[in-house]
Amino acid sequence: MTRSYSIREGRESDIDALVDFTLQEARDAEGKDLDAASVTKGVREAFADPPRARYWVAEAPDGVLAASISVVTEWSNFRGGDYWWIQSLFIASDHRGSGLVDLLLDHVAGVAAASRALELRLYAHVANERALRVYRRCGFVTLPYVIMQRSVHQS
């Protein structure tokens, strides 16, 4: 059954749902239980400092939040513009399979194009084959880069 959803920018009143979605996303995608206080801090700070991140949510006809997507930007001195990185994408389990991934990605791609973004980028856990298949179906390709990290905190 196809449902009708509306996409809108996230609001501060959505923070609790966005935190819940983020916690579920980490569990689903990587089997990780994140610290709820840290996630709450992270989502709240995105709204307190608007350039930090942008959120969009999908609402079902009954007003229930069914999904979310967030984006952060990265300036490219090579190309003189911003890459838009999809930071998170989550579909509530009872709304999966209803076209929300495509709807959210197409919406964000349209906003990115209107903002003159260079392209959409994302990273996904290498073991999350389901997500990788979906992203490839939606037109994402693997880039020739490796994501690395270095801790800045002393143990």
149 belongs to a structural domain: no
54 belongs to a structural domain: yes
Q: What is the pLDDT along the chain (155 residues), one digit of tens a residue?
A: 457 999 999 999 999 999 999 999 999 888 999 999 999 999 999 999 988 999 999 999 999 999 999 999 999 999 999 999 999 999 999 999 999 999 999 999 999 999 999 999 999 989 889 999 999 999 999 999 999 999 998 86
47 belongs to a structural domain: yes
147 belongs to a structural domain: no
Tally of domains within the chain:
1
What's the pLDDT score for residue 51? Answer: 83
What's the pLDDT score for residue 93? Answer: 95
- Which domain covers residue 107, as residue numbers? 6-137
- Say which CATH number the domain at 68 has: 3.40.630.30
62 belongs to a structural domain: yes
Cross-sheet strand order for the sheet of 65-76? 6-9, 54-59, 65-76, 81-91, 119-122
30 belongs to a structural domain: yes
58 belongs to a structural domain: yes
143 belongs to a structural domain: no
What is the C-alpha separation between 4 and 11, in angstroms, rounded? Answer: 21
